[in-house]
Amino acid sequence: MTHAREYASGGSTRRNVVLSGGAAAIGLTLPATQVAALVFGQVRPSNSNREGSKTMGTITTKDGAEIYYKDWGSGPVVTFSHGWPLNADAWDGQMLFLARNGYRCVAVDRRGHGRSSQVSTRNDMDGYADDLAEVINALDLKDAVMVGHSTGGGEVARYIGRHGTRRVKKAVLVAAVPPIMLKTPANPEGLPITVFDQIRAGVAGDRSQYYKELARAFYGANRPGATVSQGTLDQFWLWSMQAGALNAYECVKAFSETDFSEDLKKFDIPTLVLHGEDDQIVPVKDSARKSAHLIKGAKEIYYPGAPHGLTATHQDQFNADLLAFIQA
């Protein structure tokens, strides 16, 4: 939500006093989130005069979770689903670029992450996909290009598997977790469960330090000759710490053990599968290359030497490839 303030001559002081008093009175009977919505108004994107607009707000899902979204620009719609354990801000480099090029960009904080509520239920792919569907329906988004990075790619796949493509025009899976990360009898090339147990231990232990160390592999800063800025590493830590510990912990099972194979087979729209060949988080051979075989007619792009967080380390290249696919 955004706070509406009045700066007209002579009006700001009185308005602020009235709002403060009203908030105090309302606060006697209502939760803080409802007070903010009543006093300041929950921002919703307008269907008219959207040029250059930047809005944000929340929706409340059927099970009572508050899901935060940001909504920038106007024009054809592009939605963004973020990786674990980040939030919608991880897409700022793409949203700013596309909004300046005539697109409406909508990004959602997954439940339990960022500014969405830290609920203790439905921290799984079905829940994530249904939350995304509720945002898309609430904003009445149509002909959307759905973009998902890492766990967000699984979210996009499960959305299509559960809700179809009636509102979707194209899909983009970026360094995405499908078809399934975990090593199983049906997926012998996958990662052993001990890898994910170690991730859970990091979240349950000194998660602040764990996220600082994870950032280096995420962006390939641990590779010889890497030029990843400290700012990029710092923002990963900041976004990660905004996720609830419970939610981040439970999300590990969701992104590692969910089998998206049947979801991918339901893709009936143009799809781009894009991945870095030096991804240390989601190995390319057991993810993108397999997903591309399950999605009919999928286009594939692979970046030699690129890490998992290529949307930041290869931002200009990725933005150009994304725009080209959207416009094709």
Return d(Cα 148, Cα 126) in angstroms, integer.
15
Please tell me which residue in 74, 81, 150, 291 is annotated as part of the active site: 150
- How far from chain centre, in Å, is Cα 286? 22
Return d(Cα 125, Cα 225) in angstroms, integer.
37
Q: Which of 99, 104, 35 is nearest to 75 (CA)?
A: 104
Spatial contact of 181 and 255, defined as CB atoms under 8 Å apart: yes
What are 148's two structure tokens?
Answer: 């998902």
Q: Is 129 exposed, middle or buried (0-12, 13-18, 19+ CB in 10 A)?
A: buried
Residues paired with 71 in a beta bridge: 55, 106
Return d(Cα 2, Cα 57) in angstroms, integer.
7
Return d(Cα 71, Cα 54) in angstroms, integer.
6
What are 264's two structure tokens?
Answer: 């991918």
Catalytic status, residue 150: yes
Catalytic status, residue 308: yes
What are 280's two structure tokens?
Answer: 């240390």
Please tell me which residue in 82, 113, 149, 308 is annotated as part of the active site: 308
Return d(Cα 283, Cα 175) in angstroms, integer.
9
Please tell me which residue in 279, 286, 287, 291 is annotated as part of the active site: 279
Catalytic status, residue 82: no
**Which residue type occupies 215?**
A
Return d(Cα 180, Cα 294) in angstroms, integer.
12
Return d(Cα 139, Cα 13) in angstroms, integer.
34
Return d(Cα 52, Cα 163) in angstroms, integer.
30
Location of structure tokens 């147990």: 197
Catalytic residues: 150, 279, 308
